[in-house]
Each structure stands twice: as C-alpha cells, then as structure tokens.
Structure 1
Amino acid sequence: MELKVEYDDSLPDDLTILRTKSHHSYVDKVSQLFEDPFPSNMIITQEGSSFSPIELNQIHFFFTENKAVYANTESGKQKVQERLYEIESRLPSHFVRISRFEIVNLQWVKRFEYTFGGRIILHLKNDETLYTTRSYTKKIKNILFRK
C-alpha cells in the first residue's frame, strides 16, 4: 500500500480528510489516533481494593483464568479489569493473540519452535513456555515472516 499526503489550506483547522478506495485496517488505526491521540503505554491492574499502573513493556503476556483476565509480569500474575478483546484492541503491534485465552508480548519471546501437530511453542525470556492454538498459528507465521 502506498501513502500520499496532500495539504489543503482551504480546509478548516479541525478537519482532516482521509480518502481510500476501499476499507483497510490502516484506516481504523488512523481513526483511533484521532480519537485517542495519546495512547497509553500503561495498563491498570487490581489487587483487592487497590489499583496500580504497569508499563506494557513489563508485561510478558495476558491470559484468562477462571473468567478473569491477568497480566503476567516478573512479579507474577496481576488481575486486569478489562476483557481480553478490549485489551487487545489497544495494544501495540508487538502484542499478538496466540489463542482464545492468551496475548503474548513478542518482545519477551526468546525463541519459537514448531511442533508436529501444527502449533508453535513460544519460549519466553523468563523461561516460561506458551503454545499457540492451531487456529492462531497461521497468524503468528504471517507476523514473524511479514507476509
């Protein structure tokens, strides 16, 4: 895809026009920037009645357990109030869903390993191991090999 930017002095200061022949996921990302021009690099976790911010780069992966969502960090699992799909919608591109129940931070992956069953094993830098489900394996391959 090619991007061309044209400036038009006749437009009002508070109007930006984006034209495209068809819908692309890039359009959604640009729209999101206009709705939230200062995306947060933090996620809020909860322990009892207290809440704490955690930087996204400290999170190894998000996962669900007993219908609750957790962020896994060096200090263990920490409960998150948002649903997994809500978190996924605002994460940077180095966070990738690997199953219905997990989103991994690729910056924490030490190596990938294929299995005979068509899955990928993700070995994290903290010596934890995660597995893709077969339905997400193709997506992971596309991301890894930029297809």
Structure 2
Amino acid sequence: MKVKFNIDENLPEEKAEFWLHRMTDKISQIANELTNKKEFIWCFRRGDAYPVKFSEIYLVQVENEKTYVYTEQDTYLYKGRLYQVQKVLPSDFVTVSRSALLNYHQLDHLQILSNGNIDAILNNELHVQISRRRIKELKERLGL
C-alpha cells in the first residue's frame, strides 16, 4: 500500500482519504482512531471516577465478571464489558485472551513456560497468560 502525506500549515481542517480494494479490520481500526478525539476512559476507584489516559493503561482484564484497568501503580474498575472498552482503545492494545487486552508498548518481555504456554510480563511486573489462539496475532504486532 502506498502512503502519501501532504503537509500544509494553512489547511483549515485536517482530512484523510483512502482508496481501497476492500475494507479490512485494520483499516477500520485506523479510521476509528483518526476520528476518535477521546484519549481516555472513565474508570472508578474507591467510589470516585477518574479519567485514565490510554497511554497509561498497561492491561484491561475481566476477573469475576468485572472489568479492571491496570496502570503502573493503580487498579481501576471500568463499568462496561471488555468488548466495549476495546472499541474505544487505540491499536496499541492487543487481545491476548478472551478476558484480557494489553498495551504492547508496556510489554517488558515474553516468558516461554516449560508447558509451551507464553506469559506476557509487563513493565509494572504484571503477568498475563497469552491464549494459544492469540499468540500469532501478538507475534505479528511485535514483528516476531
């Protein structure tokens, strides 16, 4: 695919135009990111609501039917389902199992276990098991 950027500081409004053979999930995701001006989600901790920036999120995980958002030091409750938060998150987030999304920029390393499973170790030392079905997608995103 060819990509061309025209920079014009006097342009009244930025715009993007795509000429495609067909719509793919990746192009749809890019279009959503370009049109999404929101850079945070509202989460709760001890009854108070906090805006949590996408760049600060390490992991989003469902535990006991509740959606938790993990940052470097804090854990928040997101009042919605995993698929709902996934729709608003940028492409920096990869689905690693049916119950977890991780920010691959916060990935420290992958730990290959003796039973063949793979755990993602995040920069804040959280461990997340990667589903066998999702290993290929993660490796592609990381360029492995």
TM category, shorter: 0.7 to 0.9
- The residue that corresponds to 1:113 in the other structure is 111
- The residue that corresponds to 2:136 in the other structure is 138
Cα deviations by residue, 1:75-117 (Å, 9 ceiling, x for unpaired): 4321001221121122222211110011111222211122354
Letter aligned with residue 21 of structure 2: K
TM-score between both structures, scaled by the size of structure 1: 0.75
Q: Report deviation, 1:120.
A: 1.9
- 1:67 pairs with one of 65, 68, 91: 65
Is the CA contact 2:60–2:67 (under 8 Å) kept in the aligned structure 1? yes
Is the CA contact 2:29–2:91 (under 8 Å) kept in the aligned structure 1? no
**What SS does the aligned partner of 1:89 have?**
helix
- The residue that corresponds to 2:25 in the other structure is 25
Bigger relative contact order (CA 8 A; separation at least 6): 2
In structure 1, distance between residues paired with 2:50 and 2:118: 33
Q: Report deviation, 1:18.
A: 4.0
Is the CA contact 1:118–1:137 (under 8 Å) kept in the aligned structure 2? no
RMSD: 2.8
Is the CA contact 1:110–1:125 (under 8 Å) kept in the aligned structure 2? yes
**What is the aligned residue count?**
137
| Structure 1: gaps of 5 or more residues | 7-12
| Structure 2: gaps of 5 or more residues | 7-12
Q: Report deviation, 1:30.
A: 5.2
In structure 1, distance between residues paired with 2:31 and 2:71: 31
Q: Report deviation, 1:57.
A: 2.0
Cα deviations by residue, 1:19-77 (Å, 9 ceiling, x for unpaired): 3222223542454357x352x22110024653111112222100011211110123432
After alignment, is 90-99 or 117-126 more displaced?
117-126
Letter aligned with residue 95 of structure 1: F
